[in-house]
């Protein structure tokens, strides 16, 4: 039986340091969604010295743009989008307090450096498993940039949302290590 | 001439948008099952199990398979004797897409390239037309996700690069894509024609059922060779290491200019959503 670690944001320094690549984590509580254009707008807010749509310290951003919810359902399909598109913006958000990101696919060296410097973890959720993952979302509400439609920032209440640690605060990389293991030379 | 009502086309397109986004094809499910049987990595097996479970949840609970319900890419084969009664084919398709994405609770993922303003109804659809003999109308629909599309590439090789150059380009593209396009992927390869024709062929090759090989023996051999090389890369399910990086490689080829060797790689994620309408 694989050991599961339970986490609830805001994430504390000791909780982040205890995580290692490959750890299975179940996240409960509140997380926030943001993808391409929402990131651009958040950086614009920081540039103008204005507050972000939510208090980012210790929080987790999930890179997702869900499908519309059917009546009576808490969420539509909600799997991760590819993370590298947020690489240009992530270091700045980490600097102001972001402590976790959920997405899929490798991050740039700049993002990994920022994660090491400030103590932030990158989690992977299974790409293309949007129906399965949506079952862990208990409530979703738009809190900013409603005009962006699927790209609006949402506040999600999740229960045991399943992720795996891809990059820990020490700069280790699960993708690199695991692919190396199965590569035929 | 044979007349096909505008409303029939619109209705069928609406239905295919919804159905393909909720029900994963048997061919894809079977290939995921085969990948599961062969996968050496425990984590890889866990991911494949999640994907099979995801398909069950999507079908039974009516939740789209993936939040990226795609751009509507449509391949039309219109018989020369077909007359559309009550409007144009392009309007019928776009109206069908608009209704399907609205009524099916599907995500609208189309926007202006620079302002990023969403068009709000997932149109315009990307439509490829082919005029053929006869009185039938065939419409192939794919819901094409952005993540895998972003990992696609076209290039113009030199004739001297030959078969080896083409295969190296394909394998290198998959290697560079790593976890980004949601492996296990389906790799569409278009060879020949012109720059845009190669890209068109690469996408068209993805319409073939997963597990069916090319009916050209030479290309079928190439597909097998490429699949083996790709699955030796170690990328695995979700890019977390393993044997199943691709479920299939599909190749389409046409003649090209004496100066050129065009090649395009169009990647499809494991959530390969296709449907066919025949009227």
pLDDT tens digits along B48-105: 999 999 999 999 999 999 999 999 999 999 999 999 999 999 999 999 999 999 999 9
Model confidence at B199, in pLDDT bands (50, 70, 90)? Answer: very high
Note the pLDDT of residue A1.
57
Q: Are B220 and B112 in the same domain?
A: no
Residue with token string 């090649």: B263
CB atoms within 10 A of CB A150: 21
All domains in chain A, ordered by first residue: 4-182 (3.20.130.10)
Are A148 and B118 inside 8 Å of each other by CB? yes
Range A153-165 average pLDDT: 97
Q: Residues 57-86, chain B: which have Cβ within 8 Å of A?
A: 57-58, 61-69
A39 tagged catalytic: yes
pLDDT tens per residue, range A56-101: 999 999 999 999 999 989 999 999 999 999 999 999 999 999 999 9
How many domains does chain B divide into? 2
* Catalytic residue, candidates A19, A25, A35, A39: A39
Q: How many CA atoms lie within 13 A of A148 on its CB side?
A: 24
Are B180 and A68 inside 8 Å of each other by CB? no
Average pLDDT of the residues of chain B: 96
Q: Are B177 and B200 in the same domain?
A: yes
Which residues are registered as beta bridge partners of B74? B127, B141
The string of DSSP codes covering A66-95 is: PPPPPTT-S----PPPBGGGGTTTHHHHHH
Average pLDDT of the residues of chain A: 96
Question: Per the domain annotation, does B236 fall within a domain?
Answer: yes
Distance CA B177, CA A84 (A): 11
Q: Are B104 and B127 in the same domain?
A: yes
The answer to whether B210 and B232 are in contact (CB under 8 A) is no
Q: Are B93 and B208 in the same domain?
A: no
Q: Are B71 and B189 in the same domain?
A: no
Query: How far does A37 lie from chain B, in Å, by closest CA?
Result: 7
Which residue on chain A is closest to B39 by alpha carbon? A182
Q: Are B124 and B200 in the same domain?
A: no
ipTM higher than threshold 0.90:
yes
Distance CA A182, CA B172 (A): 17
Note the pLDDT of residue A3.
83
Residue B184, domain extent: 147-271
Distance CA A107, CA A125 (A): 14
């Amino acid at each position: 039986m694989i050991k599961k670690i339970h986490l609830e944001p805001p994430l504390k320094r000791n909780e982040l340091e205890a995580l290692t690549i490959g750890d299975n984590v179940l996240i409960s509580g509140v997380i926030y969604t943001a993808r391409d254009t929402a990131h651009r707008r958040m950086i614009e807010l920081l540039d103008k010295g204005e507050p972000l749509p939510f208090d980012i310290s210790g929080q987790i951003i999930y890179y997702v743009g869900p499908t519309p919810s059917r009546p009576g359902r808490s969420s539509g399909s909600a799997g991760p989008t590819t993370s590298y598109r947020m690489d240009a913006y992530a270091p700045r958000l980490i600097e102001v307090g972001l402590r976790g990101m959920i997405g899929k696919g490798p991050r740039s060296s700049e993002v990994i450096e920022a994660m090491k410097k400030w103590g932030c973890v990158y989690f992977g959720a299974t790409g293309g498993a949007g129906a399965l993952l949506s079952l862990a979302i208990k409530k979703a509400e738009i809190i900013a940039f409603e005009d962006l439609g699927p790209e609006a920032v949402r506040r999600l209440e999740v229960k045991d949302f399943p992720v795996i640690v891809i990059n820990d605060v020490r700069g280790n990389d699960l993708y690199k290590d695991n692919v190396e293991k199965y590569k035929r030379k | 001439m044979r007349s096909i009502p505008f409303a029939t086309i619109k209705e069928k397109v609406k239905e295919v948008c919804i159905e393909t986004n909720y029900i994963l094809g048997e061919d894809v499910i079977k290939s995921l099952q085969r990948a599961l049987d062969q996968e050496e990595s425990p984590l890889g097996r866990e991911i494949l199990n999640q994907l099979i479970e995801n398909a069950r949840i999507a079908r039974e609970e009516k939740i789209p398979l993936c939040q990226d319900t795609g751009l509507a890419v449509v391949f039309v084969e219109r018989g020369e004797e077909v007359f559309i009664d009550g409007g144009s084919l392009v309007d019928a398709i776009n109206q069908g897409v608009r209704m399907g994405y609205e009524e099916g609770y599907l995500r609208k993922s189309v926007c202006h390239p620079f302002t990023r303003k969403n068009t709000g109804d997932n149109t315009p659809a990307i439509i490829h037309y082919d005029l053929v003999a006869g009185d039938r109308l065939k419409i192939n629909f794919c819901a094409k996700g952005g993540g895998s599309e972003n990992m696609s590439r076209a290039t113009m090789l030199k004739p001297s690069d030959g078969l080896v150059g083409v295969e190296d380009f394909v394998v290198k593209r998959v290697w560079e894509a790593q976890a980004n396009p949601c492996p296990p992927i389906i790799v569409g390869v278009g060879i020949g024609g012109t720059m845009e024709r190669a890209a068109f062929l690469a996408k068209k090759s993805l319409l073939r059922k997963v597990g069916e090989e090319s009916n050209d023996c030479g290309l079928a051999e190439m597909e097998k060779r490429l699949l083996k090389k790709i699955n030796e890369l170690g990328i695995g399910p979700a890019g977390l290491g393993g044997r199943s990086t691709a479920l299939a490689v599909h190749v389409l080829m046409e003649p090209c200019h004496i100066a050129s060797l065009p090649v395009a790689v169009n990647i499809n994620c494991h959530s390969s959503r296709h449907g066919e309408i025949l009227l």
